[in-house]
């Protein structure tokens, strides 16, 4: 494999603590196993596995309104079901990241895919609210175990050693899965039989190739013993991690809102009960996010964040206005702009962390980054759920959107100072 390319994006400046290095890891190929051919194929197979895992965890998005009617619960219960998923996902991330660095990606990912399939099965058999909680817990465990190791595997398997490309593929696969899940479930639930069963049966079928893809990952042997530990970021990364993690938190707080309450928000504004419409709104937002990431590929990480956060703030303000004016046109504009800003902010944050993470702590650092991401997904939306029980859904979404827009704007001078702090030493060095 060619030497690894510089971690800086083309035209960008690497963090001051970054030093080009040979491609090393605590994980060495097992000397008893033969080198697997088709490295490029294995890279895209790992991306497919990440895509399918994210798709499955977001199938319930357009179905929550049906579950509300079927099992008799409120929008607050929807957010609590979603929060249960995040509550188990985070400790799973913290355990699985360092574990996969020690025992190998394959040993962690195969059980994760099995848990994802079991979660879909429980959803398909759901006979009450408790089943929904159980299914979401299984999905949270699965995605938590897989996110960091798969992202690290993509970096390790990228044929040319280009970490920037690996980060792009990882974010596009993640956001693509977030968008594909609601569309697939909405389409099948609206136009096919067994609306609360068929989407999950299809997901189980799609996970079979993902399991096969995981088995193609290189066999590995650990040089170090694994032991559980609290989240810890290397000292040289902490300032960069704090700013990029905050940007990611804000970006994914908006994702959490779209995945839980926006389908009902769309139905309220449009007066339509079509399940595909709510799923399509979520998918449009995430599709714009993925497209923005493709267009932003190669840009410096901090530039992506500095452009993404103002766009995200603009989209959130328009989302609030759409509810106040009952305007579907404004809702469409808000969805496109917020999705674009979310994609750029997320790509910038993940790229910065991915570039700077040391090889022997790679999955560990990425898993810690995903902890911040999923806290953004799970925590703020619970507040929206509580607000919705008091003020109604439309008002709750408006308050949330305005507050998050303000936080995005507050982050801009912080990022500007951080970027100056990174650039100055390099300019004088």
136 lies in a domain?
yes
Each residue's pLDDT expressed in tens, for the chain with a length of 429 residues: 333 333 333 333 333 333 333 333 333 333 333 334 446 888 999 999 999 999 999 899 889 888 988 998 887 888 889 888 888 988 887 787 677 777 778 888 999 999 999 999 999 999 999 999 999 999 999 998 898 788 888 888 888 888 778 878 887 888 788 889 989 999 999 999 999 999 999 999 999 999 998 888 876 655 556 666 566 687 778 888 888 899 999 999 998 888 887 888 888 888 888 888 888 888 899 889 889 988 888 888 889 999 999 999 999 999 999 888 888 899 999 999 999 999 999 889 888 888 878 877 776 787 788 778 878 888 888 888 888 888 888 888 899 999 999 999 999 998 888 765 444 434 333
Q: How far is CA 428 from CA 9, 154, 331, 425, in A?
A: 20, 34, 47, 5
301 lies in a domain?
yes
Residue 27, φ and ψ in degrees, nearest 5: -100, 120
- The Cα 415–Cα 411 span in angstroms is 6
How many other CB atoms sit within 10 Å of the CB of residue 130? Answer: 10
Q: CB–CB of 83/382 below 8 Å?
A: yes
185 lies in a domain?
yes
3-state secondary structure of 27: strand
5 lies in a domain?
no
* Domains held by the chain: number: 1
422 lies in a domain?
yes
Kind of pairing between the strands at 220-222 and 27-29:
antiparallel
28 lies in a domain?
no
Query: What confidence score (pLDDT) does residue 419 get?
Result: 62
Query: What confidence score (pLDDT) does residue 17 get?
Result: 34
Residue 222, φ and ψ in degrees, nearest 5: -90, 145
- The Cα 122–Cα 371 span in angstroms is 25
* Angle between the N-to-C axes of helices 163-191 and 198-215, in degrees from 0 to 180, rounded to the nearest 10: 150
CATH number at residue 308: 1.20.1250.20
3-state secondary structure of 28: strand
12 lies in a domain?
no
Q: What is the residue range of 338's domain?
A: 39-221+234-428
* Angle between the N-to-C axes of helices 393-428 and 362-391, in degrees from 0 to 180, rounded to the nearest 10: 150
Query: What confidence score (pLDDT) does residue 2 get?
Result: 35
């Amino acid at each position: 494999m060619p030497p690894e390319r510089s971690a800086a994006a083309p035209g960008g400046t690497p963090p001051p603590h970054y030093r080009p290095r040979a491609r090393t890891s605590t994980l060495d190929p097992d000397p008893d196993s033969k080198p697997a051919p088709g490295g490029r194929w294995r890279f895209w197979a790992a991306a497919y596995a990440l895509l399918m895992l994210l798709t499955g965890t977001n199938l319930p998005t357009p179905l929550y309104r049906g579950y509300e009617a079927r099992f008799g619960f409120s929008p607050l219960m929807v957010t609590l079901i979603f929060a249960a998923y995040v509550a188990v996902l985070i400790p799973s991330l913290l355990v699985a990241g360092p574990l996969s660095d020690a025992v190998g990606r394959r040993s962690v990912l195969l059980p994760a895919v099995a848990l994802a399939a079991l979660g879909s099965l429980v959803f398909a058999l759901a006979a009450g609210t408790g089943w929904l909680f159980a299914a979401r817990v299984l999905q949270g465990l699965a995605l938590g175990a897989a996110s960091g190791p798969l992202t690290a595997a993509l970096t390790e398997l990228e044929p040319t050693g280009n970490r920037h490309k690996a980060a792009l593929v990882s974010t596009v696969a993640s956001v693509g899965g977030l968008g594909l899940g609601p569309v697939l479930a909405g389409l099948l639930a609206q136009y096919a039989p067994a609306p609360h069963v068929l989407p999950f049966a299809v997901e189980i079928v799609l996970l079979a190739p993902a399991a096969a893809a995981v088995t193609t990952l290189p066999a590995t042997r650990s040089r170090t013993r694994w032991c559980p530990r609290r989240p810890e970021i290397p000292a040289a990364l902490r300032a960069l991690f704090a700013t990029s993690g905050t940007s990611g938190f804000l970006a994914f707080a908006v994702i959490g809102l779209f995945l839980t309450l926006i389908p009902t928000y769309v139905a309220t504004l449009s007066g339509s009960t079509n399940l595909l419409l709510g799923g399509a709104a979520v998918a449009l937002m995430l599709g714009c996010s993925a497209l923005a990431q493709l267009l932003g590929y190669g840009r410096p990480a901090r530039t992506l964040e500095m452009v993404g956060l103002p766009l995200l703030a603009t989209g959130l303000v328009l989302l609030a206005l759409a509810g106040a004016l009952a305007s579907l046109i404004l809702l469409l504009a808000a969805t496109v702009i917020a999705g674009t800003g979310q994609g750029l902010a997320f790509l910038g944050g993940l790229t910065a962390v991915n570039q700077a993470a040391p090889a022997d702590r790679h999955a560990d650092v990425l898993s810690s980054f995903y902890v911040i991401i999923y806290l953004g997904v799970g925590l703020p939306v619970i507040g929206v759920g509580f607000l919705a029980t008091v003020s109604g859904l439309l008002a709750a979404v408006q308050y949330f959107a305005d507050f998050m827009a303000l936080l995005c704007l507050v982050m801009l001078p912080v990022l500007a100072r951080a970027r100056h702090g990174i650039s100055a030493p390099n300019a004088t060095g």
